[in-house]
Amino acid sequence: MNLGMTPATSLARTIAHGGTMKRVLKLSAMMLLAGAVNGAMAAENGVTNYPAGAPGIFVGAFPPIPGLFAISQTSYTSANGLYDGSGNKLPIPFQLSAVSETARFLASYPGEFFGAHVYSQLVVPYVHLDNSNPGGTFQANGFANLTISPVILNWALSPTQSVTLGLDIMPNTGTYSPNKPLNVGTNYTTISPTVAYRYADPKGFEFAVAPRLLINGTNSESVNPFTQMMQQYKSGDALVIDFTAGYNFGKWKAGIVGGYTQQYTDDTVNGIKAFNAAGIQDGNRLRSLNFGPSLSYDLGTMQINLNYQHTFYVENGTKADTVWANVAFPIWVPAPPPGAMPGKH
């Protein structure tokens, strides 16, 4: 999920050209809005199209039977404090809250492809933002960029282990207007190849890790807030690693969930390396780590999960606290073929 606002280069230019402190504070606070959903600042206006830690306990988890399944994810995020490229907090007042509802739909197909179960996925996030800062009060509502996964392949290595390969496409579908100071959409497309490994003993330990790349496009409608001229803002590419670990006891599972983000190429504005919020031309690269406790309950046909994630370290970003409430359930499962044994698939 993404929100849009003023690029970091504009803040650096304001400082360099002797802009007033009021303008600096206003611009800086607006930039902070971008970190609401994922607790991070990287890329244009501080966000990426994928919030690390969003899958929670569902990293690499797929139903072994055909059908249509869904996960409802409701989250609340509060964020404050802007951090520079060395992880130091900048003296800029800021408060922000975000509420999001994300619907994940998963189609599981019958049969196998080279020994793998085959799936497709659609993720639809809707976001509401509230922000107060020295520059004023802002709100934004709308859909963030969709995620479309045409083909996901999941191989069962053993009864407890699996490996997954997938390609997520996050097209430029989010709500965005270059005339607004705050947006939910990013106005660019992200391509995200991913792989996941999962170990899950239903009566014991569980662990999963999923690295992915975020290969980002360019926002060709980014607006310089002072000149009001269009600029080409290219958000840098990043590595994201989602992870979860826990222990199953009866119908309960307790553990941790989280994510790590490392931007490995620079943000650029019209082909020139971007400045960060501290006025340093470092490419505005993000690095962040967020994780926290998780508790789940299995109702048989439905699984409920609550988790809390805190940003423990960030560079070129914001620190945030997010509470997630997740409910996974089947929408449609075909009847077993005649003669099939109960509980067998």
User: Mind listing the pLDDT tens digit of every residue in the chain (345 residues)?
Assistant: 332 333 232 222 222 233 333 333 333 333 333 333 333 344 566 568 999 999 999 999 999 999 999 999 999 999 988 889 999 988 887 778 899 999 999 999 999 999 999 999 999 999 998 877 677 788 999 999 999 999 999 999 999 999 999 999 999 999 999 988 788 889 999 999 999 999 999 999 999 999 999 999 999 998 876 678 899 999 999 999 999 999 999 999 999 999 999 999 999 999 999 988 888 999 999 999 999 999 999 999 999 999 999 999 999 988 999 999 999 999 999 987 776 655 444
pTM of the complete model = 0.86
| CB 41 within 8 Å of CB 35 | yes
Closest by Cα among 278, 225, 216 to 6: 225
User: Which two three-digit tokens encode residue 255?
Assistant: 């553990």
Closest by Cα among 178, 180, 184, 176 to 141: 184
Q: How far apart are CA 112 and CA 298, in angstroms?
A: 27
At 58, is the secondary structure helix, strand, or coil?
helix
Beta-strand pair 317-332/303-315: antiparallel
At 33, is the secondary structure helix, strand, or coil?
helix
Q: pLDDT at position 3, please?
A: 29
CATH of domain 55-332: 2.40.160.40
Q: How far apart are CA 282 and CA 264, in angstroms?
A: 12
DSSP 21-48: HHHHHHHHHHHHGGGTTTS---SGGG--
Helical (H) or strand (E) element with 15: helix 8-16
Domain residue extents for the chain: 55-332
Q: How far apart are CA 315 and CA 343, in angstroms?
A: 49
